[in-house]
Every structure is written in structure tokens, then in C-alpha cells.
Amino acid sequence: MMKRSDTIGLVLKSKGRNRVRWVAPDQSVYEAIEKMAEHGIGALLVISNDRLVGILSERDYARKVILKGHSSKQTLVRQIMTSPAVFVNPEHTVDECMAIMTKHHFRHLPVLQDDIVVGVVSLGDLVKWIISDQAQTIRELEGYITGAYPG
């Protein structure tokens, strides 16, 4: 059973192999966008010396490169990344992460434990989790109404 009060650690476990995609701050934005396209993702963590230093999203690219007429091959990730990156730890709940993402208009949230990146959750991951929780609640209510609810 999935609940909104579950931890992000549980969400990461449910995703299975949660490979974290990242880019270095001195790489070109073009290389980063190429990597996003290759893996079908909308954001990359920016890591330097094994430390999270920022996050780069398609939104950063659109607003800070395309709209300003810059060249993605000449612009470095460090010039447009969002930094410092807001992050959570595995003990944060789904509800807490949804609140953080909603407040800051983020679609991706790095998960760190002891300053080490252990995963990334997307808005889609959290929405799926919440929908599963709501579906379970609906099944329980239907069971209660029809008298099939285990008592």
C-alpha cells in the first residue's frame, strides 16, 4: 500500500534501478541536452568532485540559452544551472516533497543522504505514488459501502 506519508526512500526503492544521470559544470550545454535526449529525461544533476553543485533542466536551457540567443555549444552548464540545488533526504515524505516541488516550481528533486546523491524523484514519480494511494482509498471505501470491507 502506498501512502502520501511514505518516505521518498520507499519511492526510490519502488523505482527499481534508479540510475542518476549527471553532467559536469564545465561541460557544454549542448552535451547536456544531448545526454537528456539520449536518456529521455528532462533534467540532469550537476556534479563536481562527487558533490551536487546544481541541477540543469530543459527549462533552464529554454529560458537561459534559447530565449537569450546564446549558443548551446559555447555556453557551459555552470553558466545556466540552477544552484544551489534544493534537495531532500530519503526520510522526507511524499507530501513534503510535493510541497517543496510545488512551492519552487520544480519537476525534479535530488535525494541526498550524508551529502551523497542516492537518487532523483520527478513530479511524475510522486503523482504516480499519490494516484496509487487514492486508488487504494477508493477500493477501501467501495468495500466499506458494499459491506465487503474487512472488519
Q: Give the per-residue pLDDT at 141.
A: 66
Q: Cα torsion for 45, 47, 52, 56, to the nearest 10°?
A: -30
- State how far the Cα of 42 lies from the Cα of 38, in Å rounded to an integer: 11
pLDDT at 2: 65
Q: What residue ranges of the chain have pLDDT lower than 70?
A: 1-2, 18, 133-135, 137-141, 144, 149-151
Q: Give the pLDDT score at 123.
A: 92
Q: pLDDT at position 71, please?
A: 93
pLDDT value, residue 146:
79
Q: How many CB atoms lie within 10 A of CB 40?
A: 6
Its pTM stands at: 0.83
Q: In what order do the strands lie in the sheet with 22-23?
A: 22-23, 43-48, 51-57
User: In 1-151, which ranges are E strands?
Assistant: 22-23, 43-48, 51-57, 108-113, 116-122
Q: Apex CA 3: angle with CA 143 and CA 107, to 5°?
A: 130
Q: Cell 542516492 maps to which residue?
A: 118
Report the pLDDT value the prediction gives residue 78, as an integer from 0 to 100: 97
CA-to-CA separations, 108 to 30, 69, 139, 140, in angstroms, rounded: 20, 26, 30, 31
